Amino acid sequence: VISHPKYQGSQRIAIFLSMPDEIQTEEIINDIFKQGKECFIPRYKPHCNHMDMLKLSSAEDISSLTLTSWNILQPSDDDSAREEALAGGGLDLIFMPGLGFDKKGNRLGRGKGYYDTYLERCIKHPSGKPYTIALAFREQICESVPVAENDVQVDEILYEDC
């Protein structure tokens, strides 16, 4: 991931904070800060499919986040001091999680459409749609995954042996 040309050429990067069953992103987050890039993480709104990408000030900033009912660390709802990526310069790259992927770039998420909805907002932003890379285990690559009309394909899927 760290040697990937899209990562190397990106300044404003959104990345998920890993759940135990996902590719662990801690080393990538540490490298984002080490290279002087800007790091944004998701804040999900429960009971709807709205998500924002909020700026982290450092890798250590993660310890100040609150744990949601889904067991995900994220900025609290009353945390209004953080920059939202689309309120600023947009994003260059988004690393995306998922449950399953196919080689056509289709992604099976957790069913709420957070990333699809967010990417639709990115497309309307002056900086345009960022490049998207899904991080997966080889076992998550399927022949095909079910897709809906509003699903947005990922640009690339990185997994072991790809």
> Does the annotation list 121 as a binding residue?
no
> Does the annotation list 112 as a binding residue?
yes
Contact 132, 116 (CB under 8 A): no
> Does the annotation list 108 as a binding residue?
yes
Q: What is the DSSP string of 92-104?
A: SEEEE--SEEETT
Distance CA 109, CA 153 (A): 11
> Does the annotation list 111 as a binding residue?
yes
> Does the annotation list 56 as a binding residue?
no
> Does the annotation list 107 as a binding residue?
yes
> Does the annotation list 113 as a binding residue?
yes
Backbone phi and psi for residue 88, each to the nearest 5 degrees, phi listed first: -110, -130
Numbered residues of the known binding site for substrate: 17, 22
- Known binding residues: 17, 22, 107-115
- Which residues contribute to the annotated binding site for ATP? 107-115
